[in-house]
Amino acid sequence: MGLDAAIVGLPFTAVVHSAGVPKALDFFSGVMRDGAQYLWEIPVTPAAATMVFLGARTEEGVLIAACATQDDVGRFVSDLERINAEQASIIRDLYATRKTAATPTAVGLDDFIRLNNDLTNAQRDLASKNAELARSVEWRNLILGMAAHDLRNPLNTIGGFAELLQERIGETLPVMEARALDHIRQASGYMLRIIEDFLDFSRIETGHFTLESEPVDILSLAIEVAERITSFADEHAVSVQVKAPAPIPIVPADRNRLAQVLSNLIGNAVKFAPNGSIVTVSIVFHEPSDTVSVRVQDQGPGIPALERDKLFRPFSRTSAQSVTGEPGTGLGLAICKSVIDAHGGKIGLDGTVTDGAAFVFELPASRRPKLA
């Protein structure tokens, strides 16, 4: 405690000035008598220090006696004052921080109000634009439906008369006229398919897309669709083969809609298949999952990897060029997906195929489709 080593261990009477001994004895007697604690300043001899502080505590572990020079006490007091000042500073900082957090400043409040107003205005603008977009979509679907419906009847008439003329006088016509008549028939058929796609898309978008459930022999249906496409495939020397390695159960489905999906997938495969190649339609029953899968694969250029994610989006077309050169509407696969989804199935592109493209859809073998 800063005392000279020469006086350590000496009785206090050796260091306390003779004039202070009675006072020191009274100090310790009081402590031992009533357990009170005292701090007393007593004159000491020059060998000890100018002043000494004596302390005493009770037997219960309280300080009994202590001795320190004035320098020791001075350092202690300085340290105590420094610690008190640091604590006071910390308390002031905490109080200021809490006060600032609890009561926003004028600038902070203005910023908050401005941001809140901006957010409210942005939400109002977004709601207005959403409503405007909904009206635009509604008008688009209405116009598509009306235009497609009005165009379908004359196209049916043109195509029907072209076929009738081919049947009755086709063989008697000169080559150029016969070829022109055939072009009329093909073009009207192509336009009619586009019109049907627009009508179906309009029904899907407006919620008027319906399904009718009936027992469907999907293998026989695939063979029937393939035969209808035979003449189109023969023009490009493409063969369409339908196969099933095992018996296929009857599935509850909308026959016309499934025929539409098969016609779309097989027709696309033929359009992209090179001359002399084969389009394969494989049908398999998966007993563990109680599903029937249909796989349509061609040997064409395939689908670029970067374009596969948008295949089933409306009006999306890939960069791959068909052999026929006919541009699609970008609605066929979107309609196929809507039909298969409505049946509780799923459809997609087999990404593992490197030679051509393979589209696969699955249908529940026993669960009925959702009826609108």
- Phi and psi of 197, rounded to 5°? -65, -45
pLDDT at 89: 67
Nearest to 104 by CA among 92, 119, 118, 114: 114
pLDDT at 93: 62
The answer, yes or no, to whether residue 331 has pLDDT greater than 70, is: yes
Residues 6+ apart with CB under 8 A from 142: 202
Q: Domain map of the chain by residue range?
A: 1-103, 107-206, 214-364
pLDDT at 323: 56
> Tell me: the pLDDT tens digits for 109-121?
677 677 777 788 8
pLDDT at 49: 46
**Integer Cα distance of 291 and 365 in angstroms:** 5
The answer, yes or no, to whether residue 341 has pLDDT greater than 90, is: yes
Alpha helices in the chain (DSSP H): 12-15, 21-34, 70-102, 106-169, 175-206, 218-228, 230-234, 255-272, 332-342
Confidence band (pLDDT; 50, 70, 90) for 2? very low
The answer, yes or no, to whether residue 231 has pLDDT greater than 70, is: yes
Contact 357, 223 (CB under 8 A): no
Give one DSSP letter per residue of 289-305, joined into a string: TTEEEEEEE--SS---G
Token pair 């203005």 is found at: 110
Which amino acid, residue 246?
A
**CA separation, residue 342 to residues 114, 138, 275, 362 (Å):** 48, 22, 35, 12
**Integer Cα distance of 260 and 296 in angstroms:** 14
Contact 261, 339 (CB under 8 A): yes
Q: How many Cβ atoms are within 10 Å of 182's Cβ, its own excluded?
A: 15
Which amino acid, residue 221?
L
Instruction: Report the CATH number of the 107-206 domain.
Output: 1.10.287
Q: Which two tokens stand for residue 350?
A: 């087999």
Strands 291-297 and 278-286: antiparallel
The answer, yes or no, to whether residue 32 has pLDDT greater than 50, is: yes
Residues 6+ apart with CB under 8 A from 280: 241, 243, 295, 296, 297
pLDDT at 16: 60
> Tell me: the pLDDT tens digits for 237-295?
899 999 998 889 999 999 999 999 999 999 989 988 888 899 999 999 998 889 999 99
Token pair 């970008």 is found at: 330
Q: Which long-range contacts (CB under 8 A, 24 or more apart) does 339-346 make?
A: 339/211, 339/254, 339/257, 339/258, 339/260, 339/261, 340/261, 342/209, 342/211, 342/257, 342/369, 342/370, 342/372, 343/211, 343/253, 343/254, 343/257, 343/258, 343/369, 343/370, 344/369, 344/370, 345/291
The answer, yes or no, to whether residue 44 has pLDDT greater than 60, is: no
pLDDT at 9: 56
Top pLDDT among 167 and 111 is at: 167
> Tell me: the pLDDT tens digits for 117-163?
778 888 888 888 888 877 777 776 677 667 767 777 888 888 888 88
Percent of the chain surpassing pLDDT 90:
22
The answer, yes or no, to whether residue 47 has pLDDT greater than 80, is: no
Top pLDDT among 14 and 343 is at: 343
The answer, yes or no, to whether residue 63 has pLDDT greater than 50, is: no
Reported pTM:
0.56
Give one DSSP letter per residue of 237-260, joined into a string: T-EEEEE-SS----EEE-HHHHHH
What homologous superfamily is domain 214-364 in, according to CATH? Histidine kinase-like ATPase, C-terminal domain (3.30.565.10)
pLDDT at 186: 81
